[in-house]
């Protein structure tokens, strides 16, 4: 299922596609309300042992991620099952009077440029205590779902005057322009005139924001 097909699916207006899959944030007024939403999600017919959402429960809301892993892709895929589960989760949230807030969604990933990924990746995997993402060896992830993923990018030749590690930050498209403006106002710089989403701090440390 392409990103365009997912976004055109019925009932997914609460969801944003951010690198690792579809993501939504549902704003609550208490831990107990968040827990009720989690229970409602667990009871949905689209949830089973083969297809489960990744949920993060906080006193002020619940973040839900739906991901279909496709080996070899930088961006993970989105399945018809993801779209249906997204719709069911949004319906369950509305039934509980819990609103979605797409402005609270984002995904952070650390990208490492490597001349030899097989030589570099084991170091980071062991240092972080991470594991390979399911069904792919392109990146390593926190099995507890807390820390950012680390993605390894093949570097054909050393790049002078550029850091070998940068942070990728995915935000909803309608939030990107304002976030970039805030970064520039805080002392950031555009690092590449041809790619306006590549920004750096005053010392040249880069992020890709969009």
CA distances from 191 to 163, 175, 200 (A): 12, 20, 6
Same domain, 123 and 63: no
Residue-wise over 110-147: b if at least 16 C-beta within 10 A, else e? bbbbbeebeebbeebbeeeebeebeeeebbbbeeeeee
The pLDDT, as a whole number, for residue 72 is: 46
In terms of domains, do 90 and 176 share one? no
In a domain, 203, yes or no: yes
Same domain, 128 and 184: yes
Lowest pLDDT segment from 8-22, 116-130, 151-165, 170-184: 151-165
As given in the structure block, the two tokens for residue 147 are: 């820390």
- Report if residue 103 sits inside a domain: no
**Percent of the residues in the chain that have a pLDDT greater than 70, as a whole number:** 90
Tell me whether residue 151 is in a domain.
yes
Q: Domain for residue 101, yes or no?
A: no
Give the pair of three-digit tokens for residue 133: 């993402």
Residue 134 resides in a domain = yes
17 domain-assigned: yes
Per-residue pLDDT of 40-93, as tens digits, reads 999 998 888 777 898 999 889 999 999 875 544 444 557 888 999 999 999 999
Please report, for the domain that includes residue 205, its CATH number. Answer: 3.10.180.10
Examine the domain organization and report whether 83 and 113 are in the same domain.
no
Q: Which of 62, 96, 130 is a domain's end point? A: 96
State the Cα angle at 34 between 31 and 38, rounded to 5°.
135
Residue 154 CA to residue 31 CA, distance in Å, equals 43
**Gap between the Cα atoms of 34 and 59, Å rounded:** 7
Cβ–Cβ < 8 Å for 69, 133: yes
Q: Evaluate whether residue 33 is within a structural domain.
A: yes
Domain boundary among 47, 67, 96: 96
Do both 163 and 197 map to the same domain?
yes
In a domain, 120, yes or no: yes
- Whether 139 and 61 share a structural domain: no
Would you give the DSSP letter of residue 77?
Answer: B
Q: Are strands 189-190 and 165-170 parallel, antiparallel or unpaired?
A: unpaired
Range(s) of the domain holding residue 59:
3-96
pLDDT, tens only, 119-167: 888 888 888 889 887 666 678 888 877 889 898 888 877 666 566 888 9
- Tally the domains of the chain: 2
- CA count, 13 A, side-chain hemisphere, 132: 11
Q: Are β-strands 149-154 and 198-200 bridged in parallel, bridged antiparallel, or unpaired? A: unpaired
CATH number, domain with residue 78: 3.30.1360.20
Last residue of a domain, one of 36, 67, 96: 96
CA-CA-CA-CA torsion sign (77, 141, 169, 37): positive
Domain match, 146 and 172 both: yes
Q: Is the same domain home to 91 and 148?
A: no
Query: Same domain for 90 and 170?
Result: no
Alpha-carbon span 123 to 116, nearest angstrom: 12
- CB-CB contact of 114 with 124 (8 Å): no
């Amino acid at each position: 299922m392409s990103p365009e097909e997912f976004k055109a699916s019925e009932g997914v207006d609460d969801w944003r596609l951010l690198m690792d899959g579809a993501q939504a944030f549902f704003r609550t007024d208490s831990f107990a309300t968040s827990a009720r939403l989690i229970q409602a999600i667990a009871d949905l017919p689209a949830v089973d042992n083969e297809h489960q959402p990744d949920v993060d429960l906080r006193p002020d809301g619940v973040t839900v991620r739906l991901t279909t892993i496709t080996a070899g892709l930088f961006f993970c895929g989105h399945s018809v099952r993801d779209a249906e589960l997204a719709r069911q989760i949004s319906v369950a949230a509305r039934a509980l009077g819990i609103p979605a807030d797409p402005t609270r969604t984002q995904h952070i990933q650390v990208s490492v440029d490597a001349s030899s990924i097989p030589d570099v990746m084991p170091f980071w995997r062991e240092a972080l205590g991470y594991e390979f993402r399911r069904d792919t060896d392109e990146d390593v992830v926190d099995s507890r779902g807390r820390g950012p993923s680390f993605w390894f990018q093949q570097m054909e030749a050393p790049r002078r005057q550029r850091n070998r590690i940068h942070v990728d930050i995915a935000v909803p498209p309608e939030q990107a322009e304002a976030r970039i403006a805030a970064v520039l106002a805080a002392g950031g710089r555009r690092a590449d005139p041809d790619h306006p989403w590549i920004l750096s701090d005053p010392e040249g440390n880069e992020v890709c924001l969009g």
